[in-house]
Amino acid sequence: MKYVLMFIETEEFAHQLEAMGELEREAAYAAVGQWFADHADKITHHAHLAPVHTATTVRLDQGEPVVTDGPFVEGKEVVSGFAELEVADLDEALKVARSWPACPIVEIRPLS
């Protein structure tokens, strides 16, 4: 089955990242790199999104399309990237998600 893992950042996590020294940040990035390498045989596609201040939202349910600045919901938790997996079932996807070394929330959705 195909699943998408959505990586979700919190404000707290963003602050922690900012407060890191250069070495510490390099180590954090290296851990993420290692995670992608460890699961390379299952990850079919992945992407990191530009920060949320770059987001633009279009609403199509109000007659004319309305374009606004910002994400579709203003919140303290934002999607920062995703990885598409090909695994047997949810338990395998959960195992991969559990070992994710960076941002504190991962949502798992099957592709329909």
Partner 1 sequence: MSGPVHEEVLAGVVREHAGRLAASLVSLLGDFSAAEDLVQDAVETALRRWPVEGVPERPDAWLFTVARRRGLDVLRRESNYRAKLAGLTRPDPAPRDDRLRLVFTCCHPALSRAAQIALTLRAVCGLSVAQIAAAFVVPEATVAQRITRAKRKIGEAGIPYRIPAEEELPRRVGEVLAVVYLLFNEGYLSSTAERAQARDLVEEAEWLAALLVNLMPKEPEAAGLLALIRLHRARGAARFDPAGRLVLLADQDRGLWDRQAIERATALLTRTARAHRRPGPYQVQAAIVACHAEAGTFADTDWAQILVLYDMLLHLAPSPVTRLHRAVALRHVKGPEAALAELEPLGRVLERYPLFHATRAELLRDLDRRGQARRADERALELTANPAQQALLADRLRWT
Q: Which residues of the shown chain bind partner 1 in the complex (CB under 8 A)? A: 1, 3, 88-91, 93-95, 110, 112
Instruction: Name the residue nearer to partner 1 (CB basis): 73 or 88.
Output: 88
Confirm if 86 and 2 have CB atoms less than 8 A apart.
yes
Nearest distance from C-beta of residue 91 to partner 1, angstroms: 5
Nearest distance from C-beta of residue 100 to partner 1, angstroms: 16
Instruction: Name the residue nearer to partner 1 (CB basis): 38 or 89.
Output: 89
Instruction: Name the residue nearer to partner 1 (CB basis): 15 or 95.
Output: 95
Confirm if 105 and 6 have CB atoms less than 8 A apart.
no
Instruction: DSSP letter for 85, please.
Output: E
Helices (H), the chain: 11-19, 22-38, 90-98
Instruction: Name the residue nearer to partner 1 (CB basis): 3 or 7.
Output: 3
Buried-state track 74-95, b at ≥16 Cβ within 10 A, e below 16: eeebbbbbbbebebeeeeebee
Nearest distance from C-beta of residue 110 to partner 1, angstroms: 5
